[in-house]
Amino acid sequence: MQHGRTTLSKFIIEEHRRHPAQDEQLTALINDIQTACKYIGTRVARGALDGAIGAAGAKNVQGETQQKLDVISNEIMLSCCEWGGQLAGMVSEELEHAYEIPAEYPRGRYLLLFDPLDGSSNIDVNLTVGTIFSVLEAPPGITDPRVEDFLQPGSKQVCAGYALFGPADMIVLTLGRGVHGFTLDPQIGAYILTHPDLHIGEDTQEFAINASNRRFWEPPVQRYIDECVKGQAGPRQKDFNMRWIASLVAEVHRILMRGGVFMYPKDYKDPAKPGRLRLLYEANPMAMIVEQAGGRASTGRGRILDVMPQALHQRVPVILGSRREVERLERYHVEYDSGTDERFESPLFNTRSLFRATQ
């Protein structure tokens, strides 16, 4: 066993020493979050052994069926983070309203927003799941935050990260100064810095999207995917691979490890929903991580981190990953919205006319 390796606890303490703006409350909060992630990882690993696989018999505020491990993970995050005196309040995907810190605990200067178990629909087939978290500063003097106190753009985040529960459990974290990955060493029970200064390449030949929704996509997304699928024979002149895990944590982690672009774009499947992913505790923290690693995160029509939230559980379209691919998708949206993407089609001189157009 190697000694003297950098643990997550040591890393955040050293960051505090180098950057005094990162106060002791934030350092302590991240320690509480990593403790919660260890507990959640253990419960996920023991899922079927503890009878924790399957539906919990209720729906969350999103109208989605809660899994037993959704409920367990939510309770773990709340109990691990409510007592330390660093938080003024919390928001969870599994709770309709903001969570009030119990009166017996001191209040702090931060707000914690989280998805306790992202990708829980994959639990029964033993695929990778995770926890996503975002930390904001509460407005000065606020100890009992109202809903509007949580509605801050992602650019205001002071910390974002996710825990990954897979073949090796990890925490990937940014404090606004790059992105770093920590792998859980089960022999000592500590997260160890194994992936410092993660960076996403500007180009890629891999994309992730739920292709079953193609008929509901907007034309700029259809255009992009069609070009990728055509490979070397198409306008991109290179072959692409397609991936889809249905776990945002796993999708983003793959992009951090080897590049790529992930899309959960706006579509017409449910016109009442402008997007699928939740802004405050899914899109914003992942966008911060991706940008800090040199990538780009967009709704297709603007930077995710600039979106001004209107509700705790607001949904947005998400396109993130390798910078040049996301920029291409943004350009396709601009061209579509302006009408400049449409080719001139003559009823006489086209593929369906008397005269076949040359390619």
What string of H, E and C letters represents the secondary structure of the chain?
Answer: CCCCCCEHHHHHHHHHHHCCCCCHHHHHHHHHHHHHHHHHHHHHHCHHHHCCCCEEEEECCCCCEEEHHHHHHHHHHHHHHCCCCCEEEEEECCCCCCEECCCCCCCCCEEEEEEEEECHHHHHHCCCEEEEEEEEECCCCCCCCCHHHHCCCHHHCCEEEEEEECCCCEEEEECCCCEEEEEEECCCCEEEEEECCCCCCCCCCEEECCHHHHHHECHHHHHHHHHHHHHHHCCCCCCCEEECCCCHHHHHHHHHHHCCEEEECCECCCCCCCCCEEHHHHHHHHHHHHHHCCCEEECCCCEHHHCCCCCCCCEECEEEECHHHHHHHHHHHHHHHHCCCCCCCCCCCCCCCCCCCCC
259 is annotated as contributing to ligand binding: no
Where do the structural domains in the chain lie, given as residue ranges?
8-195, 206-338
| Nearest partner of 275 among 242, 250, 301, 247, judged by Cα | 301
CATH T-level assignment (fold) for domain 206-338: D-Maltodextrin-Binding Protein; domain 2 (3.40.190)
pLDDT tens, per residue, the chain with 359 residues? 455 699 999 999 999 999 887 789 999 999 999 999 999 999 999 988 898 888 877 767 777 778 899 999 999 999 999 999 999 999 999 999 999 999 999 999 999 999 999 998 888 888 899 999 999 999 999 999 999 999 999 999 999 999 999 999 999 999 999 999 999 999 999 999 999 999 999 999 999 999 999 999 999 999 999 999 999 999 999 999 999 999 999 999 999 999 999 999 999 998 888 899 999 999 999 999 999 999 999 999 999 999 999 999 999 999 999 999 999 999 999 999 999 986 544 454 454 444 444 43
282 is annotated as contributing to ligand binding: yes
32 is annotated as contributing to ligand binding: no
4 is annotated as contributing to ligand binding: no
93 is annotated as contributing to ligand binding: yes
The whole-number pLDDT of residue 208 equals 98
210 is annotated as contributing to ligand binding: yes
CATH T-level assignment (fold) for domain 8-195: Fructose-1,6-Bisphosphatase; Chain A, domain 1 (3.30.540)
Instruction: Look up the pTM and report it.
Output: 0.92
Question: What SS3 string covers 198-210?
Answer: CCCCCCCCEEECC
Q: Which residue has the tokens 């000065």?
A: 140
Encode burial over 120-135: b for 16+ CB neighbours within 10 A, e otherwise. Answer: bebbeeeebbbbbbbb
327 is annotated as contributing to ligand binding: no
335 is annotated as contributing to ligand binding: no
- Beta-sheet pairing, 296-298 with 315-316: unpaired
Sign of CA pseudo-dihedral 176, 177, 180, 182: negative
115 is annotated as contributing to ligand binding: yes
User: Is it true that 8-195 and 206-338 share their CATH fold?
Assistant: no
